[in-house]
C-alpha cells in the first residue's frame, strides 16, 4: 500500500491552477489581444466586471431590507414574458428577508443595557461593595497618616493633613 503525501498533492493542484489560469485566464496574452479586437467579448467582460464590482460593494456596505425585493424584480424583468407572469415570479417580486434576532432586537438594546447597569448597581449596593470601598479608602488614609506621623513626627504631619 502506497502512502500519498497530501501536501505534495496540494502543491501540484496549486501549480496546475496557476498554470491553467495563466494560459486561459483573463490575464493571458492571447485573451487580452482577443478582447481588444472583439467588441462582443469586450462588452461581456465589461458586464461581468460590473457585476463583480456591484457584488463587492454590496458585501462592503450595509444593505436595506428591500434589497432582495429590488434585486429579484430586476432579475425577473429580464426573463421572457411567460416566466414573468408565473405565480412564483410574483411572489419573488414582493419577498423581504427576515431580519435576524440581533437586527430585530437592536432597537431595544440601549434600554436593555441601561436596565442591566441599574440592576448591577443595585446588586453591588446590596452586597456592600461600595461600603467596602469606602472602608478601604478610610483605612488607607489612616495608614498613610500613621506612616507620615511616624516618619516626619507629629508637627509636620499635622501641617500636611490639616492644611
Amino acid 160: pLDDT = 65
Render 1-56 in DSSP notation, one character per residue.
-PPP-HHHHHHHHHHHHHHHHHHHSTTSHHHHHHHHH-HHHHHHHHHHHHHHHHHH
pLDDT along the chain (163 residues), means of 10: 69 78 73 85 82 73 67 76 76 71 79 88 78 80 80 68 60
Amino acid 146: pLDDT = 81
Q: What is the pTM of this model?
A: 0.28
**Hey, where are the domains in the chain?**
1-61, 62-97, 120-162
Amino acid 162: pLDDT = 64
Amino acid 49: pLDDT = 79
Amino acid 3: pLDDT = 63
C-alpha pair distances (Å), 45 with each of 17, 21, 147: 21, 16, 82
Amino acid 9: pLDDT = 79
Amino acid at each position: 500500500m502506497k502512502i500519498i503525501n497530501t501536501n505534495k498533492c496540494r502543491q501540484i493542484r496549486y501549480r496546475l491552477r496557476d498554470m491553467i489560469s495563466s494560459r486561459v485566464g483573463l490575464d493571458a496574452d492571447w485573451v487580452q489581444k482577443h478582447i481588444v479586437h472583439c467588441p462582443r467579448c469586450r462588452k461581456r467582460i465589461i458586464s461581468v466586471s460590473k457585476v463583480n464590482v456591484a457584488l463587492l460593494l454590496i458585501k462592503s456596505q450595509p444593505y436595506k431590507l428591500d434589497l432582495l425585493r429590488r434585486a429579484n424584480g430586476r432579475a425577473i424583468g429580464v426573463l421572457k414574458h411567460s416566466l414573468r407572469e408565473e405565480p412564483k415570479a410574483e411572489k419573488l417580486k414582493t419577498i423581504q428577508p427576515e431580519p435576524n434576532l440581533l437586527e430585530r432586537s437592536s432597537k431595544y438594546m440601549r434600554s436593555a443595557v441601561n436596565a442591566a447597569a441599574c440592576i448591577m448597581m443595585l446588586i453591588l449596593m446590596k452586597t456592600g461593595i461600595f461600603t467596602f470601598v469606602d472602608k478601604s479608602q478610610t483605612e488607607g488614609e489612616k495608614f498613610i497618616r500613621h506612616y507620615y506621623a511616624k516618619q516626619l513626627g507629629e508637627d509636620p504631619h499635622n501641617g500636611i493633613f490639616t492644611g
